[in-house]
Amino acid sequence: MANVTITAEEEILQRARVEAARRNQSLSRFLGELLKEKFAQEDAYERAMKDFFARGPYLDPPVREDGRRWPSREELYDRKCLK
């Protein structure tokens, strides 16, 4: 493990010290775990985005499973049909 020196506002450091004490941890361990959780969330988000975009378009093919076709953009935004 490496040691790191950080610079932060005193108010932020005080809140971090209080939270670390609530968790019965050192400030160093608390900040390390906080960073680990943040990076894990970012990694999970990236994986979810890659999975989502790997699936391809949802409206392809232009025909639904029941045989009906999907409406075109023009049909969806045609104000005359909303009346």
CA distance 59 to 66: 13
Give residue-wise pLDDT tens across range 6-63.
Answer: 999 999 999 999 999 999 999 999 999 999 999 999 999 999 999 988 887 665 666 7
- Domain extent listing, the chain: 10-82
pLDDT at 46: 96
- Which uninterrupted H or E stretch holds 28? helix 27-54
Task: Report pTM.
Answer: 0.60
pLDDT at 81: 60
The structure tokens listed for 51 are 């999975």
CA distance 32 to 81: 58
CA distance 71 to 62: 9
Give residue-wise pLDDT tens across range 70-79.
Answer: 788 888 887 7
